[in-house]
């Protein structure tokens, strides 16, 4: 089936996905106008919209262009947020473009459209890219901006130097998403802070207003996440139209949702942030923006989430088909007091519980006895590991586990050999103090020599020690983003830092294909589609409180798949809120994603260890469904009494329910929990009790839950009988 159709007479392009359509049109004024994003339509319908849907022009500050363009550039009668803003050498701003041509390409199950424009006077080329897949409703968009070297078009008074000189790219967003006319608009986004990331918030979009989220920290960020969803304020988990988007970028970014006075709504977004030039584009150079993916769902937020998850499993994640192992991480057990002896002791207990991956955290290198020294000196501490890492790695492998290690490659302590040798390698301004956070500075990874050094020591570490897994951390954001010696392109650091991190990860994966990578940034500070294309999982939050995690995980799964959501079982009472939980409750909370253990197992009682062993085995039985199935959020964390999630195998053969009681009230029993996604004509057997129920009864009447008391939980595994 042709996924992109074109009518040259009307200059209309129609994108068709399994359940949606998207249409654009080139107007007589060579503006790329949006026509449709929603339920399936035919090319003839899109042509009809092109003939009737574009408003007539008026002489007013409220122009028909507001909220109608696919990629609004600065210039002309445009008053909304531009997706592209440039300044030429003669201080002229704005773009007047002309279509050079279009091309439709197909490779595998992907189809791509290029729309290539050039400015009528200046040597600037802009190419709009669209990509759709045969097996996904997600549409990917991005832009290439090229300096063609000299102006050759039009009658201009600009000098040759103006036409050949560099172009300031002030804003270069990846896409503008037009939301169809509705009576009202509501924006959903994720917000939070360290220890409370990815919490869901829904806010109204008021008329003639804008709402901005983003990060100015050089990393994706704890406070917000580059995802949005817009509905007409009536959509729910399993009903209503939802338009959503996610940016594949792990640095500074911005999304702006606008509701214009003419009633239209639009979301524009990409890398960069206000106050800093994005890029200085020199002759012959091309700036490529990150992918900004969009998705329409006709069946609520839940269906949108499941489609995002499926898209990530099929088109984003490396090795997505693999089951992620149960891991143990030593941080909360030993902190910086780490050595070969205590790591081996914990590893033996972890292996006995059924753990498959043992990860040694911070404190193994240089003079790293606390957080004040050692970052940058990536050699094993000889006092703690007198024979290097090999004896520990070999012991972990002998126990039947893979071996993982923690690193923080982008950071350096002032108290380190690296910093004493290369104080110029950190971001700084010569006339300003170097601000430390967590006693560390940020290496200027935008510098080619720093990036080369970083790759070399990581490549040696992985190749020399038989390491199977890397937890890549980043515990502080960028500050004082100065680069002495690079005065002409100050905005370069915001983009080149991320690009070089991506490049290093890509090269390491090619050089060490058996090594898995986890993204971490002081918790969930680096979670986005860009980093997910290069890592196998992400650390969701430093907050391992089992109850808090329910809200964090609920927001996380609005867009990101459970297959990448790392969660640990830690000690009780938990260090975050000092709440006490049962072993079962802690495990059930962590089983909602990728199960990990992080407590001090040497201090767990025999009874706790025995229960943990059983729960690890239970997770292994259900993880194919949790990691690769379809998620249904049955009851949200803010529900008065219960939170519940359900995972259904894609072939319908089994389902998993995790339910959590909050505080019991007035002695009432919990009502039956109505399930979703089951075959109404099928029958399902409870793997533990043996009871059998029909899909119709479980869906329309519900499942009785064995919950008793406050902070109780249960796991129910249903197997289809026929």
Annotated binding site: 194, 361-362, 438, 471-475, 520, 542
Q: What is the DSSP letter of 703?
A: B
Residues in the annotated binding site for substrate: 194, 361-362, 438, 471-475, 520, 542
Rounded CA-CA distance 139/142 in Å is: 10
Rounded CA-CA distance 581/394 in Å is: 35
Contacts of 147 (CB under 8 A, 6+ apart): 123, 124, 125, 166, 167, 281, 282, 283, 284, 285, 286
Burial class (CB in 10 A: 0-12, 13-18, 19+), 206: exposed
Contacts 24+ apart (CB under 8 A), 123-128: 123/147, 123/148, 123/149, 123/150, 123/151, 123/152, 123/163, 123/164, 123/283, 124/86, 124/88, 124/95, 124/148, 124/167, 124/281, 125/100, 126/71, 126/73, 126/84, 126/95, 126/97, 128/32, 128/70, 128/71
CA nearest 516: which of 361, 355, 597, 405?
A: 405
In the sheet that holds 265-271, the strands lie side by side as 175-179, 265-271, 253-259, 209-215
Residue 698 backbone dihedrals phi, psi, to 5 degrees: -65, -30
Helix (H) or strand (E) holding 625: helix 606-628
Q: What is the DSSP letter of 525?
A: S
Rounded CA-CA distance 440/453 in Å is: 18
| SS3 assignment, position 255 | strand
Helix (H) or strand (E) holding 301: helix 300-315
CA nearest 540: which of 288, 260, 196, 99?
A: 196
Rounded CA-CA distance 347/337 in Å is: 15
Query: Does 573 sit behind a cis peptide bond, omega within 30 degrees of 0 on the bond before it?
Result: yes
Reading the block at residue 189, the tokens are 């986004």
Dmax over Cα atoms in the chain, in whole Å? 85
Q: How many CB atoms lie within 10 A of CB 717?
A: 18
121 backbone φψ class: left, alpha, beta (φ>0; ψ -120 to 50): alpha
Rounded CA-CA distance 73/710 in Å is: 56
Which are the catalytic amino acids? 473, 542
| Block residue for tokens 């290369």 | 422
Burial class (CB in 10 A: 0-12, 13-18, 19+), 420: exposed
Reading the block at residue 629, the tokens are 């199935």
> Going along 390-461, which residue ranges are E strands?
402-407, 411-412, 441-442
Rounded CA-CA distance 647/340 in Å is: 40
């Amino acid at each position: 089936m042709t996924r992109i159709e074109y009518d040259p007479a009307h200059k209309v392009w129609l994108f068709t996905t399994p359940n949606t359509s998207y249409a654009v049109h080139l107007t007589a004024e060579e503006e790329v106008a949006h026509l449709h994003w929603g339920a399936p339509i035919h090319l003839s319908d899109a042509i009809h919209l092109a003939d009737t849907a574009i408003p007539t022009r008026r002489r007013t500050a409220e122009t028909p262009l507001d909220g109608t363009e696919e990629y609004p550039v600065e210039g002309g009668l445009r008053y909304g947020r531009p997706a592209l803003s440039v300044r030429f050498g003669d201080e002229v701003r704005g773009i007047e473009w002309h279509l050079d041509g279009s091309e439709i390409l197909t490779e595998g199950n992907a189809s791509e459209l290029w729309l290539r424009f050039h400015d009528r006077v200046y040597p600037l080329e802009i190419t709009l890219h669209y990509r759709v897949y045969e097996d996904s409703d997600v549409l990917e968009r991005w832009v290439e901006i090229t300096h063609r070297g000299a102006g050759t078009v039009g009658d201009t008074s600009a000098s040759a130097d103006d036409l050949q000189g560099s172009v300031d790219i002030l804003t270069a967003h990846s896409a503008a998403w037009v939301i169809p006319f509705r009576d009202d608009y509501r924006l959903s986004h994720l917000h939070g802070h360290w220890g409370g990331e990815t919490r869901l918030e829904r806010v109204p979009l008021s008329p003639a207003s804008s709402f901005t989220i983003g990060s100015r920290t050089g990393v994706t960020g704890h406070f917000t996440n580059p995802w949005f969803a817009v509905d007409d304020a009536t959509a729910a988990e399993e009903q209503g139209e939802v338009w959503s988007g996610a940016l594949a970028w792990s640095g500074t970014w911005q999304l702006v949702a606008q509701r214009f006075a003419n009633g239209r709504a639009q979301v524009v977004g990409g890398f960069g942030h206000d106050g800093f030039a994005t890029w200085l584009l020199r002759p012959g150079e091309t700036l490529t923006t990150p992918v900004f993916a969009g998705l329409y769902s006709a069946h609520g937020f839940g269906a949108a989430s499941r489609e995002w998850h499926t898209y990530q499993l099929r088109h984003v994640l490396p090795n997505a088909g693999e089951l992620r192992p149960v891991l143990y991480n030593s941080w909360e057990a030993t902190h910086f007091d780490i050595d070969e002896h205590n790591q081996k002791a914990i590893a033996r207990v972890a292996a006995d519980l059924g753990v498959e991956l043992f990860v040694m955290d911070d404190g193994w290198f240089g003079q790293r006895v606390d957080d004040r020294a050692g970052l940058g000196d990536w050699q094993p501490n000889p006092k703690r590991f007198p024979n290097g890492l090999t004896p520990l790695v070999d012991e972990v492998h002998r126990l039947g586990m893979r071996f993982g290690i923690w690193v923080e490659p982008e950071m350096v302590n002032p108290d380190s050999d690296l910093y004493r040798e290369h104080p110029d390698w950190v971001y700084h301004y010569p006339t300003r103090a170097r601000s430390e956070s967590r006693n560390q500075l940020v290496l200027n990874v935008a510098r080619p020599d720093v990036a080369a050094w970083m790759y070399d020591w990581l490549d040696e570490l992985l190749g020399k020690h038989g390491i199977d897994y890397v937890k890549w951390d980043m515990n502080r954001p960028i500050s004082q983003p100065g680069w002495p010696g690079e005065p002409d392109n100050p905005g370069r650091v915001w983009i080149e830092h991320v690009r070089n991190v991506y490049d290093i990860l890509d090269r390491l994966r090619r050089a060490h294909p058996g090594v898995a990578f986890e993204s971490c940034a002081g918790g969930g500070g680096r979670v986005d589609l860009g980093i997910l294309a290069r890592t196998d999982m992400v650390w969701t939050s430093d907050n391992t409180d089992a109850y808090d995690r329910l809200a964090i995980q609920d927001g996380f799964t609005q867009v990101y798949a459970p297959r990448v959501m790392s969660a640990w079982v830690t000690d009780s009472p938990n260090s975050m809120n000092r709440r006490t939980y049962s072993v079962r409750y802690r495990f059930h909370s962590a089983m909602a994603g990728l199960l990990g253990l992080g407590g001090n197992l040497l201090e767990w009682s025999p009874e706790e260890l025995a229960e943990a062993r059983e729960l690890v085995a239970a997770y292994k039985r259900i993880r194919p469904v949790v990691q690769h199935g379809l998620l249904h959020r049955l009851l949200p964390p803010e529900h008065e009494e219960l939170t519940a999630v359900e995972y259904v195998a894609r072939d319908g053969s089994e389902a998993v329910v995790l339910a959590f009681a909050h505080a019991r009230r007035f002695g009432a029993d919990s009502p039956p929990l109505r399930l979703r996604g089951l075959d109404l004509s099928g029958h399902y057997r409870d793997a533990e009790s043996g009871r059998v129920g029909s899909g119709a009864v479980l869906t329309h009447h519900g499942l009785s839950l064995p919950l008793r008391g406050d902070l109780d939980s249960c796991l129910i595994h249903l197997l289809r009988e026929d």
